Homo-oligomer: A and B are copies of this chain.
Amino acid sequence: MEKDRILALERAALDKWKEGDVTGFLELAADDISYFDPSLTSRLEGKEAMTKHLMAAHKTFTIPRYEIINPQVRIEGNMAVLHFNLQNYDDKDSPASRWNSSEIYVLRDGRWQLWHSHWSVVKKQK
């Protein structure tokens, strides 16, 4: 199912990410991707800018385990929206950072590419 394919793409990028490898997301990125994350003061525009931004963190971290919570996918023609919470775990398998994620994919040249990506940190849980 096409929805599973979108989720599998995201999961493959996260599987690299947990090893500190940012290239999975860069391979997904469309040339005209735009990107929000908590370390930025404005939306970042374009794959070149995203590459510079993510490569600064390449291989500087690892995430022992992550969990995708309640993913939802909606596909309309050549555009797909995926959103979920991401729970990361530390090396004692305790909950660490938790994220909100909204990912917009577009189908181009037979390949789903990430056109817009919004990551934000969830406030500390009590």
Contact = CB atoms under 8 A, between A and B. Distances in A.
Interface string A100-121: 1010101000000001101011
Contact of A122 (B34, B42, B77): B42
Contacts of A88: none
Most chain B CB within a 10 A radius of its CB, from A40, A81, A83, A115: A83
What copy number does this chain have within its complex? 2
A11 interface: no
Interface residues of A, number: 33
Contacts of A76: 76-79, 106
- The 8 closest A-B CB pairs, nearest first, are A120-B120, A76-B79, A36-B100, A77-B77, A102-B118, A76-B77, A41-B125, A118-B118
Interface of A: 34, 36, 38-43, 69-70, 72, 74, 76-79, 81, 83-85, 98, 100, 102, 104, 106, 115-116, 118, 120-123, 125
